[in-house]
Structure 1
Amino acid sequence: MVGNPSRALAWALIFLLMPGCATLWDGDWEEDGHRRIYLYEVQPGDTLGRIAWRHGLRVEQLQRWNELANPDEIQAGAYLVLNPPGDEGAAGGHAADTAPGQTEDTTREPPPPPDDAPDYELGWVWPADGEVRRSYATDSGGKSGIQIGGSEGDTVRAAADGEVVYSGSGLRGYGNLVIVMHDDRFLSAYGYNRALNVAEGERVSGGDPIAEMGRAPGADEASLHFEIRIDGEVVDPEDYLPARDL
């Protein structure tokens, strides 16, 4: 188990975005008959909502799998189960030993927004100035979000105030990637950058430059891959970004 909470958070966010990550899971697990049970050690300051979106899960899933009547009752040092029991996994059409963040269908319709999406505003701004070249969708690589066009080197901005929890190129399929955690529920991700201008742990304000736009491998034009997630659930960024005239 990773000892540094910030580093643990960064790697957990990688699992959140990575399809098919079962073989890369480096957290705790235990055997239960023929299946693996994946475990997460609660860190000081964790909330169930934060743990859920780190691992691409819903709060109600964690409550059910861990028999938590009150989502506020988790304690630092306790372990939470991150995958469903065998009977639920079979009934729901998912493998019982599926690792956190793993997706089985790589081509699928965008999931609906969370039923209890927050009704507060974070003061969102557009992360880049170009036109939306691809609207909200889930592509064959398992990524959900929008593609914003532009030119190589264009400024990529933080879409709202928050903390940089990942800045690097360790996640295959996203190129140089920045992830910003805005609060316990909201996260935004910025992929395919030419250069990264922020470090993990850095606080940013909405509109601050965080990267330079680049190109996805094989692409003819530069673009920014942009995602917003609530409790780990992907949502359409254009539902949150302000209207604009181009």
Structure 2
Amino acid sequence: MQYAVSRTFIVILCCLAVVSCGSTPPAPVVVLNSQPIEDQGFQGDTYTVKKGDTLYAVAWYTGNDYRDIARYNNLRPPYNIFPGQSLRVTAPQIAKRSSKSPTKPTGQTSPKVYTNTVDRTKEQAYGESEKNVNRQPLNDVKKPSKSVKKRAPNAFPDKVEQWVWPAKGKLIATFSQEESGNKGVDIQAARGTNIVAAADGKVVYSGNALRGYGNLIIIKHTDTFLSAYAHNDTIKVKEQQWVSAGELIATMGNSGSDSVKLHFEVRYRGKSLDPLRYLPTQRP
């Protein structure tokens, strides 16, 4: 009997220990300067246009270059779209010829197979030239390739290697998760203060077509990461220009705002993220 009571007591102690350990979750690991691990942001292949949307806004919501969306949907300036319209926001699949053995002729004309379903601009949207990997000389096909695979010049990296603060000044507003909250950080300084690229990337938008942002610059850093710089006074870069982290892109102003400041956002697949997760802890 005493043995049974002892066993029961030991079992109870073990259960309490397990419950105690389970009630205290491990401290979360915060990884700075890297892509979010969780699945978030716009995921679909198409976007349904809502009232008031512009092509520039759709690109911003979905984390894309507006030129890409225009090309995918065969749109031309001034890029008119209408509510209810379904826009493709990912590259369409390229039609391929069947690899099966040829069939006997039927006397009818075979349908043409098109490899491009939409218009192409002279330059690819992100500076990558169109290359056909099968255009090798016939006498080289059988030779083993000794070359090391390299990333094409001006192609987007897999992740952002380095983030820097986009401007010097006083941090007057931070990110908010609220639906109507601030979707970035605001930095206040004197008019004309230099604004720099927060990371390496390509300017995919420069203008004032997005309401509430004033003179805006959007830089694409990877296939999923964008950063935005709003309310600029003067813009020093052009669309499709590649920039480096710390490179001058604009000067601070109050376009679209009632005060001189920089509104800075970071977006992953079109979803706003807290820039302080990525910017260095120490401010300039």
Alignment partners' CA distance in 2, 1:169 and 1:17: 13
> Counterpart in 2 of 1:125?
164
**Aligned-pair CA distance for 1:194:** 0.3
Compared CA separation, residues 201 and 128, structure 1 to 2 (3 A): same
Amino acid paired to 1:193: N
Give runs of aligned pairs for residues 137-216 of structure 1, distance below 5 A: 137=176, 144-216=183-255
2:117 counterpart residue number: 77
Contact 1:28 1:38 in 2 (8 A): no
Measured against aligned partners, the alpha-carbon deviations of 1:36-86 in whole angstroms (never above 9, x if no partner) come to 35132754799xxxxxxxxxxxxxxxxxxxxxxxxxxxx9639xxxxxxxx
Report the Cα offset of residue 137 of structure 1: 2.3
One-letter amino acid of the structure 2 residue matched with residue 77 of structure 1: T
Structure 2: 5+ residue stretches without partners: 1-53, 62-77, 95-114, 119-157
2:278 counterpart residue number: 240
> Quick one: distance in 2 between partners of 1:171 and 1:223?
17
The structure with more radius of gyration: 2
Cα distance in 1 for residues equivalent to 2:260 and 2:92: 40
- Checking the alignment, whether the CA contact within 8 Å between 1:163 and 1:180 is kept in structure 2 is yes
Report the equivalent of 1:91.
Answer: none
The amino acid that maps onto 1:178 is I
Q: In the alignment, is the contact (CA less than 8 A) between 1:136 and 1:146 conserved in 2? A: yes
Q: Relative to 1, partners in 2 of residues 1:168 and 1:139: Cα closer, same or farther, differing over 3 Å? A: farther
Distance 2:216 2:188 in 1: 16
- Of 46, 54, 58, 1:15 maps to 58
The sequence identity of aligned pairs, in percent, is: 38
1:197 to 1:45, Cα distance in 2 relative to 1, 3 A: farther
Following the alignment from structure 1 to structure 2, what is the Cα–Cα distance between the partners of residues 197 and 217? Answer: 18
Q: d(CA) in 2 for partners of 1:37 and 1:169?
A: 24
5+ long unaligned stretches in structure 1: 1-10, 19-23, 30-35, 47-74, 79-118
What does residue 175 of structure 2 align with? 136
Q: Distance in 1 between matches of 2:267 and 2:278?
A: 11
Matched, 1:224 2:272: no
Please tell me whether residue 26 in structure 1 is matched to residue 80 in structure 2: yes
1:68 equivalent in structure 2? none
Q: Normalization by structure 2: what TM-score?
A: 0.48
Instruction: Return the alpha-carbon distance in structure 1 between the equivalents of residues 164 and 200 of structure 2.
Output: 10
- The structural deviation recorded for 1:144 is 1.2
TM-score (norm 1): 0.54
Taking the aligned partners of 2:219 and 2:247, their CA distance within structure 1 comes to 12
* Coordinate RMSD, CA, aligned: 3.4
8 A Cα contact 1:43 1:77, kept in partner: no
Report the AA paired with residue 188 of structure 2: G
Which letter does structure 1 place at the counterpart of 2:212?
A: G
Give the direction of change, closer, same or farther, for the CA distance of 1:43–1:140 in structure 2 (3 Å limit). closer
Q: 1:231 to 1:225 in 2, by over 3 A?
A: same
Check the 8 A contact 2:218/2:226 in 1, yes or no.
Answer: yes
Q: How much does 1:232 deviate?
A: 1.1
